[in-house]
Structure 1
Amino acid sequence: MSAPRALDVRFLGRRPYRPTWDWQRALVDQRKAGEVPDTLLLLEHDPVVTVGRNAGTASLLLDEAAYAARGVELVITDRGGDATFHGPGQVVGYPIVDLAPDRKDIRAFVRLLEQVMIDTCADYGVAAGRYPGEPGAWLMGADGQPERKIGAVGLRFSRWVTHHGFAFNVSPDLGYFDLIVPCGIRDKGVTSLQRETGRRIPLAEVMDRLAQHFERLFGATRVTAGA
């Protein structure tokens, strides 16, 4: 059984994408050196479309200038996965955690992040599940098949230290997702907690639920909640 971990949880409000990405990479180096504990960053981003390192541009429906004209930044990242949108009303979680020596299972960590979002959905009476081969948290259609995505996962690993992470739709403007092919999947929709419940839920409340579920599933104890 894995030993309990200390986890520094930071609630950061709204931040632009690129400086946060730079900070993640600095934290990865610090975590590998043992200078910081496992860390979970929770925040919103300014509107941005990000694309995984091997995804290409097939999922981008506009060019960079057209995105910029709509107030949306375009960033090619070093994570896995395809195109996704981040923006206000969406909680992004960046776990910078060391899976060594006793948690070195990439698929298990992806499932853990999916479960964090699935359990958070359940807190609000929304039944979510998995879609084999397409990481994330999904809601099913009347036929029991995955129909619409409420949360995405995209990660990078460096000597077993993780960064990037998950994005959970609480109350974003879902129209932004029409500017891309979300996660490269053309025949599925995107949804949010607000759309599924019919009510506006405070983002800070959802952030704390996500943090609690991550702590429990990762076997960690929160040591700080810095800003």
Structure 2
Amino acid sequence: MHKPLDVAYIPMLEYEEAWNSQKSIVQQLDEGEGNERLLLLQHPPTYTIGSQNHPEHLLLSQEQLREQGISLFQIDRGGDITYHGPGQLVGYPLIVLGRDEDLDLHGYLRKLEQVIIDYLADQGVEAGRKEGYTGVWIGDLKIAAIGVKFNRCKRRRGFVTSHGFAFNIASGIQHEGFQGIVPCGIQQYGVTSLEDITGKAFSVELVAKEIVSYFSRHFSYDIRWVDEKEALHR
């Protein structure tokens, strides 16, 4: 019997609400309340700047951001600047690491990457890692970014994870929000999407539902699907 994991797919959620919900859930898990969770969702157009804090990698002015309807947040995950928007599957695992003797923060990042690598393999796409970088790559093109925060527990041993992965699904996403930034601070390489690589159409919701089994395979959870209200506010 594995640990329970509450999973929800949310078609569209404002970034600020998702971030606030993550912080609340992290606190609950630190206090031993509620189940661990995996939030799968899409955001409206949003840029987030991580702890590496390179504002120069944002190529748009505040006026241009307003004109294009793109929100901007300075947040507490690792990494540089990235884009979230429609057509991208964002995953926020909120799980406890280190309650046993297997605390491995580096290994957690590699497992997150492997979830997407394995999913892509079953779609006929050969993906992998790129030395010196995080995320999932197809040659010199990044298809999924990884950026997490390890929240050190105050009331128990270990850490609670927040933030997670951003998996590009829809065709053309690299010509939308990614054009306004230096993605993850990497100038020499580009980004791609599942539809552009395969030439096939994919539903973000279907990919979300399919990828959960890959997540549970690598992280050993029993999946329990819940609705948005229960996932965010319980």
- TM-score when scaled to structure 1? 0.93
- The RMSD of aligned alpha carbons is 1.3
**Could you tell which deviates more after superposition, 114-123 or 57-66?**
57-66
- Please tell me whether the aligned partners of residues 64 and 74 of structure 1 are also in contact (alpha carbons under 8 angstroms): no
Percent sequence identity over matched residues? 41
SS at match of 1:74: strand
| Residue in 1 that maps onto 2:53 | 55
Q: Deviations along 1:172-199, whole A, 9 cap, x unmatched?
A: 6221211100000000010000000111
User: In the aligned structure 2, how far is the partner of 1:163 from the partner of 1:96?
Assistant: 5
User: In the aligned structure 2, how far is the partner of 1:131 from the partner of 1:164?
Assistant: 21
Q: CA deviation at 1:105?
A: 0.9
With over 3 angstroms needed to count, the CA separation of the structure-2 counterparts of 1:201 and 1:99, relative to structure 1, is same
| Residue in 1 that maps onto 2:232 | none
1:60-75 equivalences in 2 (<5 Å): 60-75=58-73
For these two proteins, the number of residue pairs brought into alignment is 219
Amino acid at match of 2:57: S
With over 3 angstroms needed to count, the CA separation of the structure-2 counterparts of 1:216 and 1:225, relative to structure 1, is farther
| Residue in 2 that maps onto 1:110 | 109
| Residue in 1 that maps onto 2:180 | 179
User: In the aligned structure 2, how far is the partner of 1:116 from the partner of 1:150?
Assistant: 13
- TM-score when scaled to structure 2? 0.90
User: In the aligned structure 1, how far is the partner of 2:151 from the partner of 2:132?
Assistant: 23
User: In the aligned structure 1, how far is the partner of 2:48 from the partner of 2:42?
Assistant: 14
Q: CA deviation at 1:56?
A: 2.3
User: In the aligned structure 1, how far is the partner of 2:131 from the partner of 2:208?
Assistant: 26
| Residue in 2 that maps onto 1:138 | 137
| Residue in 2 that maps onto 1:144 | none
| Residue in 2 that maps onto 1:152 | 145
Q: Deviations along 1:33-64, whole A, 9 cap, x unmatched?
A: 11111100000000001110232212111122
Q: CA deviation at 1:6?
A: 1.1
Amino acid at match of 1:197: T
| Residue in 1 that maps onto 2:2 | 4
Q: CA deviation at 1:100?
A: 2.1
Q: Which consecutive unaligned segments of at least 5 residues does structure 1 have?
A: 141-146
SS at match of 1:79: coil
Q: Which consecutive unaligned segments of at least 5 residues does structure 2 have?
A: 153-158, 229-234
| Residue in 1 that maps onto 2:224 | 223
SS at match of 2:64: helix
**Could you tell which deviates more after superposition, 177-186 or 66-75?**
66-75
Q: Deviations along 1:123-179, whole A, 9 cap, x unmatched?
A: 211110001221100001xxxxxx100000000111210000000000062212111
| Residue in 1 that maps onto 2:33 | 35
User: In the aligned structure 1, how far is the partner of 2:226 from the partner of 2:193?
Assistant: 26
- Please tell me whether the aligned partners of residues 120 and 206 of structure 1 are also in contact (alpha carbons under 8 angstroms): no
Amino acid at match of 1:149: K
| Residue in 2 that maps onto 1:143 | none
Q: CA deviation at 1:211?
A: 1.3
SS at match of 1:14: coil
Amino acid at match of 1:123: D
